[in-house]
Amino acid sequence: MYAPLKTVAGWMLPLLFLFIFGLAGCQSTESFYRGYRVENQSIAPLSTLETQQGAWKTFDIDLTYQYQKTDNILNISGTTTLGLYYELNTSRIRTLDLFLFFLDDESKVLETTYLVRRLEFNPEEKQTFVKSLNIPTEAASIAFGYKGTAQEDGSGTDSSDGGGGSQQIFFDLPKRPR
């Protein structure tokens, strides 16, 4: 009588863990980094004037964008490229998530949205986006952030990992409040 129970428990326990971890992964993008603080150098105030243009550059990313705010809608478009380091030293980009953060007047994240979400592409490729987004009522400014994984060039022959190179994680995200 106990043998069938052990068998059932043996295969149900891993399924239960998968289910629980699956639920944990269902967090909405809007709540990513909520309450975290953004550094001043990456903040652009939301202006009701004509179309605004800007650029944001880090070691990893070069972003040019333009936006127009109309009532509670933000129409934003832009192009991003990876830094020269990635063009010279990596064979491909495995993942890239480019975020837009709506911030309150204390530079804390109110809401997060994806501008770019890509898998498997060449480091030389430009990423473009065009979005129309609802602006939270308390939003005073916007900021950008990203996270990604690059496949470094390697001398191995295993095609499953891009030729033997290691993976490199790169990011620039809001800071957790202290």
Question: Is the CB of residue 115 less than 8 Å from the CB of residue 98?
Answer: yes
Domain 30-172 has CATH 2.40.128: no
Residue type, 114: Y
- Write down the pLDDT at residue 3: 58
Per-residue pLDDT tens digits for 1-36: 555 555 545 555 454 444 444 444 445 666 789 999
Kindly report, residue by residue over 99-112, the tens digit of the pLDDT: 999 999 999 999 99
Alpha-carbon gap, residue 59 to 154, rounded angstroms: 22
Check: CB of residue 86 under 8 Å from CB of residue 151: no
Mean residue pLDDT across the chain: 83
